[in-house]
Structure 1
Amino acid sequence: MLIKRFLTIIAIILSSYASYSLANNSPENYLDYAIKKVEQATKSSQVWDGPKDGPKLVNNKKIIFVASDLRNGGVYGVAKGISEAISNLDWQLKFIDSRGSEIRQAAGLREAISFQPDAIILGGIDALRHKTILEQAKKQGIVVVGWHAAELAGGNDELGLYTNITTDPLEVAEVAALLAVVNSKGKAKAIVFTDPNYKIASIKARVMVDTLKKCSTCKVLELKPLALDQIAEKMPNTLNTLWNSYGENITYFLTINDLYIDYAIPSFESRLEESRGIPRNISAGDGSKAAYKRISQQQFQLATVPEPLYLQGWQIIDELNRAFSNHPPSGYSTPIHLVIPDNVDDLITSESSGIYDPKNGYRDVYLKIWGGE
């Protein structure tokens, strides 16, 4: 079954490039294709495109959120969105923080099951790594919903997930790479960073590489593996090695998230002091407060692709209510939004929060659904 799941992911990747056939006839056509995709991704939708109906609220439910690490901005943002949604309900919510430890994640899941809740939410926890424990939850009739718990959005019976909430990682990766094509006018020369320890990171990086290769006048200089837990230690030497190899030929760094750019800043500053150029940096994920600041100041980062964390928290509660009502998942996946200097100020709700929160009325819509209106 795991092999089948992996083959499904590969098939999706391959099928996502079917639309490239016409766009790839010439550099001009491909650039036009890239421009249209990027323009669409940078638009800030003011209209709710998610579910507008569903089951009325089921009362008196006990929910436990098991977090991979509440110090992680994404996990914390989703947790805050869940708390906000539940404050309008009569449900009980408990948090268990694994503090970044896989051992604590396993212990936290076992603890959560022992409380016999109605549902468990996996906050950034890899469901595959804890499949055996999740089977126990399934046997006890506990609904499990994940946030970034599997590679793709949607249900996963094999892992015991009613549904998994995430933006489409393949779309995120494609749009990030297409921005480099557009920004360079089809002349990008890029290094792509990834973490080889995570399948989804490798898949995203491969999509970025393949997207750039579709641009016949662009060039992928190197796909660079660098584990997330080694970035702080190894990034300076890694950058020195890359500059020794490619020098000023590097015009773009594409990364799977903002952390790579965070730890590259000291090296960038040193090069600027020496009057040497630095690449333009694009992150295919996250949308951290630091990234927004860099993009707004047009310093060290060109773009990032954030997730609407509060919205996803509300969606998780709606999906749980559908499960409690024996309804199928909504099937909704939030659209891709590319944050660049032109739209960064519109997409940040406030300087203090640094959270991308679409102004599309999703809170009111969900409250109406749960109220049976």
Structure 2
Amino acid sequence: MTAGHHRRVPLAVTIAVLTALTVLTGCERGASSGGGPSSTGPAKSGCPAALGRAETAVRQAEQNRPAVNGPTSGPRAASGKSIVYVAQTMTNPGVAGAAKGVAEAAKAIGWKVRVIDGQGTPAGIQAAFSQAIALRPSGIVIGGFDPKLTSQQVAKANAEHLPLIGWHAVDSPGPSKDPELFSNITTRVQDVARISADWIITHSHGNAGVVIFTDASIPFARTKSELIKKQLATCPGLRLLAEENIPISDTSSRTPQEVSSLLSRFGDTWTHSVAINDVYFADAAPALRAARKKGAGAPYNIGAGDGDPSAFQRINSKQFQAATVPEPFAQQGWQILDEFNRAFHGRPASGYVAPVHIATAVNSRGATTWDPPGYRAAYLKIWGRWFRPVPGGRAAGPPPSRRS
């Protein structure tokens, strides 16, 4: 169980009234939804059944070795292949992290990789994709953008039988028929939402006042926040104080003001927060600091997605973020190359989905990204490549020859 401060509030009124107070509903009201703080708190016992389940899930997710191993078999490495990674924008740490993993894996497997930056605009992404097709590569990565933005380019690539593999391109992991992708590499949004809510249940021992930060303009983000609410509702000791709807593009301008308002409205009853992306806590920190909140104290914040280096830095320095549910960017880059290799051999996609992980100051040990152990050696073994461990866990080339 993750260490944390446990709020104890006296038992009040009947269970029926308590249940009514703790129903997690969301009524739109400007930028936020949810009721105000209640004068009656949750029962001291919290939610024993939900707490026990959540503790088990969190304990497993906090392990530094994935609970589920990756692929152990597959075709040997094809030769002479070239991959183009079309990036939504290389200023996005997740997009850049996956691209770095692709480049590292390509070096190990002996392929060529080129990254084309879409600069974060529809026109730029479309131009980058068109350029990628013109290069006539063996395969193209859709790096972090909705393929609907490039429907014409996707159709052309499909017509030319160019394998397309997405990274966070569609909601679900695995093969996609519409758009036609050999596979999409991402964690399951259901798992990320569930474990972030379970962390709050565990950390608070089933007694918390929770704020959710989301972007309702993005269907994927809206789905994630709804799933988080559903999981929080399994513990009657938790109260949803507010659901802040702040577009990710506006976080820097709007989050500080909204956080100040939340502190004024809820005071110390606001004990925990969960956001669909870590960026909200980067922008919340100044307002929390101005309110003389302690970086290692309440509200305890967990990011339900990404796990970029700045999130790890806040977590490791205990500055207004306690945990994140990070994506294993480099591992996903290696998986992208392995999926391409399967496509080139006419094999089906691996079906592998990385298990969710929770990073805290205790288990990250100063790291600035989630990089699970073991996958490099496993992929190189599948591909028939040499592996020598070197500092940092990277794969090195074949050992030197020992001629006498």
Same fold at TM > 0.5:
yes
Query: Where does structure 2 lack aligned partners over 5 or more consecutive residues?
Result: 1-45, 387-404
1:75: which partner in 2? 95
The 3 A distance-change label for structure 1 pair 156 and 335 is: same
Q: Which whole-Å CA distance do the structure 1 matches of 2:83 and 2:294 have between them?
A: 55
Amino acid at match of 2:383: W
SS of 1:158's partner is: coil
> RMSD of the alignment, in Å?
2.0
Q: 1:368 aligns with which of 371, 381, 404?
A: 381
How many residues were matched structurally?
340
1:267-306 aligned at under 5 Å gives the runs 267-272=287-292, 278-306=298-326
The 3 A distance-change label for structure 1 pair 113 and 273 is: closer
SS of 1:159's partner is: coil
Whether 1:28 aligns to 2:41 is no
SS of 2:166's partner is: strand
Q: Which whole-Å CA distance do the structure 2 matches of 1:273 and 1:127 have between them?
A: 42
Q: Which whole-Å CA distance do the structure 2 matches of 1:103 and 1:238 have between them?
A: 33
Report the alpha carbon displacement of residue 342 of structure 1 after superposing the two structures with TM. Answer: 2.1
1:128: which partner in 2? 148
Report the alpha carbon displacement of residue 89 of structure 1 after superposing the two structures with TM. Answer: 3.1
Amino acid at match of 1:206: E
Query: Where does structure 1 lack aligned partners over 5 or more consecutive residues?
Result: 1-25, 349-353
Whether 1:252 aligns to 2:277 is no
1:85-96 aligned at under 5 Å gives the runs 85-96=105-116
Give yes or no for contact 2:60–2:67 (8 Å, CA) kept in 1. no
Whether 1:204 aligns to 2:224 is yes
| TM-score, reference length from structure 1 | 0.87
Q: 1:343 aligns with which of 356, 363, 369?
A: 363
| TM-score, reference length from structure 2 | 0.80
1:218: which partner in 2? 238
Q: Which whole-Å CA distance do the structure 2 matches of 1:142 and 1:215 have between them?
A: 48
1:149-188 aligned at under 5 Å gives the runs 149-188=169-208
TM-superposition CA deviations, 1:71-100 (whole Å, max 9, x none): 111111111111111112332211110121
Q: Which whole-Å CA distance do the structure 2 matches of 1:225 and 1:71 have between them?
A: 24
Deviates more, 1:36-45 or 1:244-253: 244-253
1:5: which partner in 2? none
Q: Which whole-Å CA distance do the structure 1 matches of 2:319 and 2:132 have between them?
A: 44
2:261: which partner in 1? 241
**Higher helix content, 1 or 2:** 1
Report the alpha carbon displacement of residue 114 of structure 1 after superposing the two structures with TM. Answer: 1.7
SS of 1:264's partner is: helix
SS of 2:274's partner is: strand
Q: Which whole-Å CA distance do the structure 2 matches of 1:250 and 1:66 have between them?
A: 41
Q: Which whole-Å CA distance do the structure 2 matches of 1:167 and 1:328 have between them?
A: 19
Aligned-residue sequence identity (percent) comes to 35
1:185-196 aligned at under 5 Å gives the runs 185-196=205-216
Report the alpha carbon displacement of residue 217 of structure 1 after superposing the two structures with TM. Answer: 1.2
SS of 1:151's partner is: coil
Give yes or no for contact 1:254–1:282 (8 Å, CA) kept in 2. yes
SS of 2:75's partner is: coil
Whether 1:62 aligns to 2:76 is no
Give yes or no for contact 2:259–2:288 (8 Å, CA) kept in 1. no
The structure whose Rg is larger is 2
Report the alpha carbon displacement of residue 307 of structure 1 after superposing the two structures with TM. Answer: 1.3
Report the alpha carbon displacement of residue 46 of structure 1 after superposing the two structures with TM. Answer: 6.7
Q: Which whole-Å CA distance do the structure 2 matches of 1:310 and 1:125 have between them?
A: 18
Give yes or no for contact 2:176–2:182 (8 Å, CA) kept in 1. yes
2:165: which partner in 1? 145
Report the alpha carbon displacement of residue 372 of structure 1 after superposing the two structures with TM. Answer: 8.2
Amino acid at match of 1:224: E
Give yes or no for contact 2:86–2:142 (8 Å, CA) kept in 1. yes
TM-superposition CA deviations, 1:129-152 (whole Å, max 9, x none): 323321111001110001000111
Report the alpha carbon displacement of residue 297 of structure 1 after superposing the two structures with TM. Answer: 2.7
Whether 1:355 aligns to 2:375 is no
The 3 A distance-change label for structure 1 pair 172 and 273 is: closer
Amino acid at match of 1:266: P
SS of 2:320's partner is: coil
1:19: which partner in 2? none
Amino acid at match of 1:370: W
Report the alpha carbon displacement of residue 245 of structure 1 after superposing the two structures with TM. Answer: 2.8
Q: Which whole-Å CA distance do the structure 2 matches of 1:295 and 1:244 have between them?
A: 25
Report the alpha carbon displacement of residue 157 of structure 1 after superposing the two structures with TM. Answer: 1.2
TM-superposition CA deviations, 1:333-363 (whole Å, max 9, x none): 11111012221207x2xxxxx222112x211
SS of 2:362's partner is: coil
Q: Which whole-Å CA distance do the structure 2 matches of 1:339 and 1:232 have between them?
A: 24
